[in-house]
Amino acid sequence: MTQIDTADAELKTKHKAMWGKGDYPLMVETFLLPVGQRLVDAAGIGPGARVLDVAAGTGNASIPAAQRGARVTASDLTPSLLEAGARRPEAAGLDLEWVEADAEHLPFDDESYDVVMSAIGVMFAPHHQEAADELVRVCRPGGTVALLSWTPEGMLGDLFRTMKPFAAPPPPGAQPPPLWGSEDHLAALFGNRVEFSVLERHVLEITAFEQARDYGEHFKAYYGPTIAVRANAVQDGREAEFDRALDRFCETWDEGTAGAARFEKEYLVAVGTRR
């Protein structure tokens, strides 16, 4: 058991470091802001609700929830992301609690929140069942579990497939993040503990880049998982191969015109009642 705990602690240390690389807060500001508001709208969060945002990052969903009068706890494994969130102008004057926490071992009491949510966050916890169990545990019976996750079939799912040949082998038991965007996977994780009333697929339109390949360059500079995989490719002497694969990925998904790239990134919104 001690060996398992030690291995898990080492894995979480690596994950914390990975998400601290690059500049994820800049990525949020560049094109990810709409997904936080989208989840808050879908969850129907209102004044006085006790809300826990799991793997909250910079508070992309936490801040809109607090602006609606909810009592919000924003939790994340990476302290630097929480610190960046607390500095966001939108957070000024809001009473948010920012707590360092592992999504698979949440430091909160059973049944202590009315809404437990995560916008493209908990999906990156390596052990999906452990994370799902924690979401259920801290949500009160009759409360709301609300998730927004990139889909396996969409652009993020394809990005992870593109990067996989260049990545280090995953740790035992770790599952691919985009599975959280699968309706069947959510059913397997939550069983009859959460009755989902909303399971809807939408797309985030991304128009922040002039050229298709600018999207890939942005990820190489600012996105922790891409930075980590490319570093592994460099170690293996395959960085040029990695760069070509990422360029092809960007060109395949571009639906824009010359000088105005446009991408559609599919996500799943899942909102249910905790039984």
pLDDT of residue 6: 79
Q: Where are the alpha helices (DSSP H) in the chain?
A: 2-20, 24-27, 33-43, 62-67, 79-86, 128-138, 155-163, 183-190, 212-222, 224-235, 239-253
Average pLDDT, the chain: 96
Residues facing 73 on adjacent strands: 52, 97
Query: Is 255 a residue whose pLDDT tops 90?
Result: yes
The whole-number pLDDT of residue 95 equals 86
Task: Say what the pTM is.
Answer: 0.96
For the chain, domain boundaries: 2-205+266-274
Mean pLDDT of 207-228: 98
Distance of CA 12 to the CA centre of its chain: 15
Give backbone dihedrals phi and psi of 227, rounded to 5 degrees, phi first.
-60, -45
> Could you name the CATH architecture of 2-205+266-274?
3-Layer(aba) Sandwich (3.40)
Query: Angle, nearest 10°, between helix axes 239-253 and 155-163?
Result: 160
DSSP 54-115: TT-TTTTTHHHHHHTT-EEEEEES-HHHHHHHHTSGGGTT--EEEEE-BTTB--S-TT-EEE
- State the pLDDT at residue 3: 43
How far is the CA of 227 from the CAs of 119, 215, 241, 247, in angstroms? 21, 14, 15, 15
- Per residue in 148-193, pLDDT tens? 999 999 999 999 999 999 999 998 899 999 999 999 999 999 999 9
Q: Which of 86, 88, 90, 89 is nearest to 73 (CA)?
A: 86
Strand order in the sheet with 139-150: 96-100, 71-76, 50-53, 113-119, 139-150, 263-274, 194-206
Task: Dihedral sign for Cα 148, 34, 106, 271, please.
Answer: negative
